[in-house]
Amino acid sequence: MKPSCRKPLIGSLLLLLVGCTTTGSRPEQTVTDTVSPAPQALASAEKPIYESETVIVEVVARLPADMLPDEPGMPDKHQDLVRRLAAGFQLQVEDRAEIARQRDWFVRHPEYLARVIRRSSRYLYFIADELERRGMPSDLALLPIVESAYDPFAYSHGRAAGLWQMIPGTAKRFGVRQNWWYDGRRDVLDSTRAALDYLEFLHEKFDGEWELAVAAYNSGEGNVARAIRRNVKAGKPIDFWHLRLPRETTAYVPKLLALVDIVADPAAYGLELPEVDNRPYFEVVPLEGQMDLGLIAELTGIGMDDLYALNPGFNRWATDPDGPHRAVVPATHGRQLQLAVADLPFDSRMRWVRYRIRPGDSLISIARSHDTTPEVLKDVNQLRGNVIRSGAHLMIPTATRDLGAYTHTADARLARTQNKPRGSAKTTHTVRSGDSLWGIARRYGVSTRSLAKWNGMAPGDTLSVGRDLVVWTGSAKVQPALAVSPVEGKERKIRYTVRKGDSLYRIAQRFRVTIAQIKRWNTLDGGKYLQPGQKLTVYVDVTRQSS
Average pLDDT, integer, range 310-336: 92
How much of the chain exceeds pLDDT 70, in percent? Answer: 76
Three-state secondary-structure class, residue 407: coil
Examine the pLDDT at 341 and tell me if it is beyond 80.
yes
Residues 58 and 173 in one domain: no
* DSSP bridge partners of 182: 314
Q: Sorting pLDDT into bands at 50, 70 and 90, what band is 186?
A: very high
Long-range contacts of residues 368-376, Cβ cutoff 8 Å, at least 24 apart = 368/433, 368/434, 369/433, 369/465, 370/396, 370/398, 370/465, 371/316, 371/317, 371/398, 371/399, 371/462, 371/465, 372/316, 372/396, 372/397, 372/398, 373/180, 373/181, 376/321
Examine the pLDDT at 546 and tell me if it is beyond 70.
yes
Residues 215 and 90 in one domain: yes
pLDDT mean across residues, the chain: 79
Examine the pLDDT at 377 and tell me if it is beyond 80.
yes
Q: Sorting pLDDT into bands at 50, 70 and 90, what band is 157?
A: confident
- CB-based contact 159:141 (threshold 8 Å): no
Prior bond to 168 cis, omega within 30? no
Q: Which of 264-273, 394-403, 503-512 has the lowest mean pLDDT?
A: 394-403
The whole-number pLDDT of residue 274 equals 95
Residue 276 lies in a domain: no
Q: What are phi and psi of 395, to 5 degrees?
A: -90, 125
Average pLDDT, integer, range 350-359: 83
- CB-based contact 378:343 (threshold 8 Å): no
The whole-number pLDDT of residue 206 equals 97
How far is the C-alpha of 303 from the C-alpha of 305, rounded, in Å?
5
Residues 390 and 522 in one domain: no
Residue 275 lies in a domain: no
Q: Among the residues of 405-446, which ranges form H helices? A: 408-419, 437-444
The whole-number pLDDT of residue 417 equals 58
Residue 115 lies in a domain: yes
Q: Sorting pLDDT into bands at 50, 70 and 90, what band is 70?
A: very low
Residues 336 and 199 in one domain: no
Q: How far is CA 535 from CA 484, 498, 518, 538, in A?
A: 19, 6, 12, 10
Residues 434 and 356 in one domain: no
Residues 257 and 309 in one domain: no
Residue 297 lies in a domain: yes
Q: Sorting pLDDT into bands at 50, 70 and 90, what band is 56?
A: very low
Q: What's the number of domains the chain is made of?
A: 6
Residues 111 and 237 in one domain: yes
Average pLDDT, integer, range 522-526: 80
Residue 144 lies in a domain: yes
Residues 302 and 321 in one domain: yes
Residue 76 lies in a domain: no
Residues 118 and 178 in one domain: yes
Q: Sorting pLDDT into bands at 50, 70 and 90, what band is 72?
A: very low
Q: What are phi and psi of 523, to 5 degrees?
A: 45, 55
How far is the C-alpha of 99 from the C-alpha of 256, rounded, in Å?
9
Residues 136 and 183 in one domain: yes
How far is the C-alpha of 40 from the C-alpha of 333, rounded, in Å?
32
Q: Sorting pLDDT into bands at 50, 70 and 90, what band is 399?
A: low
The whole-number pLDDT of residue 267 equals 96
Residue 105 lies in a domain: yes
Prior bond to 144 cis, omega within 30? no
The whole-number pLDDT of residue 343 equals 86
Q: Which of 1-5, 339-343, 344-348 has the lowest mean pLDDT?
A: 1-5
How far is the C-alpha of 179 from the C-alpha of 45, rounded, in Å?
57
Average pLDDT, integer, range 407-429: 58
Quickly list DSSP for 99-166.
HHHHHHHHHH-HHHHHHHHHHHTTTHHHHHHHHHHHT--GGGGGHHHHHHTT-TT-B-TT--BTTTTB
Examine the pLDDT at 412 and tell me if it is beyond 80.
no
Domain boundary residue, one of 269, 301, 319:
269
In this structure, what CATH number is given to the domain that contains residue 474?
Answer: 3.10.350
Q: Among the residues of 434-503, which ranges form H helices? A: 437-444, 448-454
Residues 337 and 359 in one domain: no
Examine the pLDDT at 261 and tell me if it is beyond 80.
yes
How far is the C-alpha of 153 from the C-alpha of 265, rounded, in Å?
30
Range of the domain at 471: 408-483
The whole-number pLDDT of residue 494 equals 86
- CB-based contact 125:81 (threshold 8 Å): yes
Q: Tens digit of pLDDT for each residue in 95-145?
A: 999 999 999 999 999 999 999 999 999 999 999 999 999 999 999 999 999
Catalytic residues: 147
pLDDT: which is higher, 463 or 330? 330
Quickly list DSSP for 236-298.
---SGGGS---HHHHHHHHHHHHHHHHHH-GGGGT--PPP-BSS--EEEEE-SS--BHHHHHH
Residues 89 and 225 in one domain: yes
Residue 123 lies in a domain: yes
How far is the C-alpha of 85 from the C-alpha of 33, rounded, in Å?
42
* DSSP bridge partners of 282: 330
The whole-number pLDDT of residue 45 equals 35
How much of the chain exceeds pLDDT 90, in percent? Answer: 43
In this structure, what CATH number is given to the domain that contains residue 528?
Answer: 3.10.350.10
Domain boundary residue, one of 436, 455, 483:
483
- Work out the angle at residue 397's Cα, subtended by the Cα atoms of residues 360 and 441, and round it to the nearest 5 degrees: 80
Examine the pLDDT at 53 and tell me if it is beyond 60.
no
Examine the pLDDT at 227 and tell me if it is beyond 50.
yes
Domain boundary residue, one of 269, 299, 315:
269
Which of 37-51, 219-233, 391-405, 427-441: highest mean pLDDT?
219-233
How far is the C-alpha of 196 from the C-alpha of 134, rounded, in Å?
9
What distance, in Å, lies between the first and last C-alpha atoms of the chain?
59
